[in-house]
Amino acid sequence: MKIMVCVSKTPDTTAKISFNAANTEFNSAGVAYIMNPYDEWYALVRAVDLAKQFPGSTVTVVHVGRADSDQIIRKGLALEANDAVRIDADPHTALFTAKQLAEHARSKNYDLIFTGKETIDHNGSDVGAMLAEFLDLPFVSYASKMTVAGTTATIERDIEGGVEVVEVKLPFVVSAAKGMAEQRIPNMMGIMKAKNKPLAVVPPVAFTDKAKVTRFELPKAKSGVRMVSADEMDELVRLLHSEAKVI
């Protein structure tokens, strides 16, 4: 089975979020970057395990980004992906990124393409759907469990307040949510091997984007917590009614 895993780079979960003076760009000074957790913990780990189930399979990590992403890509290889491709461009929007990933995938005949359910920076959930559309493939989002038998996958996907079980034939695109796999730390052997695994750098295709971020702002700060004594729950209810107006 040929598996492609799309991984993106995001600020660490605990990163302080700030912007440039004009509020048009994210301020990356002092920010540690990680592989987007959904791409790593759920998509990549599940892909690697699936590859083991089908001997002769390969897992290719594909990333749209600049050379400063190579460390994150190497981590993917340390987690036992076979090889990697970096499309050398700034991933400004989901549409641009999906277009680049699709052009890479178009001639490769992947049986299965994984993304994470969303990135933790722009929280869009769009790349998987867009990629599937560019490639005219089925798409199953928010998969929390997946098994493959022959050429058919059975997938549980998260829906509002529950789970939907679906069946789909390979090839398709799937976005991975919690439950698909368990977070894994690369072992020393994996890290050593990763250094010598192929990481191809390819140029992007020309594409005119259709949207861009023109301004960032920080949410209004909370005015501060109002403490209510543990003995005065009637007062708390009164405040929720007459001050906060939520009941």
Partner 1 sequence: MCRTSSYLNDVLQKIYIMVLVYIESPKGQFKKAAFEAVTYGAKVAAALKTTCVALTLGNVKDAGILGEYGASKVYNIASSNVETFDSQSFTTAIANAAQALNASVVILSHSANGKSLTGRLAVRLNAGTVSGANAVPTLNGGFKVQKSVFSGKAIAEYTIDAPIKVISLMGNSIPAQKTGHSVAVSALDVAVPAPRVKVISTRTADGHVPLPEAEKVVSAGRGVKDPQNWGIIEDLAAAVGATTACSRPVADAGWRPHHEHVGQTGVAIRPNLYIAIGISGAIQHLAGVNNSRVIVVINKDPEAPFFKAADYGVVGDLFEVVPRLTAAFKKFKAN
The residues with which 157 forms a beta bridge, in sequence order, are 143, 164
Minimum distance, C-beta of residue 204 to partner 1, in the bound complex (Å)? 17
Q: Considering the complex, what minimum distance in angstroms separates the CB of residue 113 from partner 1?
A: 14
DSSP state of 121: T
Instruction: Output 37 or 76, the one with its CB closest to partner 1.
Output: 37
The distance of closest approach from Cβ of residue 28 to partner 1 in the complex, given in angstroms and rounded to an integer, is 13
- Closest CB to partner 1 among residues 106, 241: 241
Pick between residue 55 and residue 162 the one whose CB is nearest to partner 1: 162
Long-range pairs for 144-147 at CB < 8 Å and ≥24 separation? Answer: 144/177, 144/178, 144/179, 144/180, 145/179, 145/180, 146/46, 146/50, 146/174, 146/180
Q: What is the DSSP letter of 7?
A: -
CB of 197 to partner 1, least distance (A): 28
Shortest Å, Cβ 166 to partner 1: 5
CB-CB neighbours of 98 under 10 Å: 26
For the bound state, the minimum distance from the C-beta of residue 171 to partner 1, rounded and expressed in Å, comes to 11
Q: Encode 203-232: b = buried (16+ Cβ within 10 Å), e = exposed.
A: ebeeeeeeeeeeeeeeeeeeeeeeeeeeee
Let me know how long the chain is.
247
| Beta-carbon count within 10 A of 77 CB | 23
Eight-state DSSP code of residue 234? H
Least distance in Å: CB of 159 to partner 1?
4
Q: What is the CA radius of gyration of the chain?
A: 21
Using alpha carbons, select from 83, 86, 111 the residue that is nearest to residue 97: 86
Q: How far apart are CA 50 and CA 29, in angstroms?
A: 38
The residue (of 6 and 84) whose beta carbon lies closer to partner 1 is 6
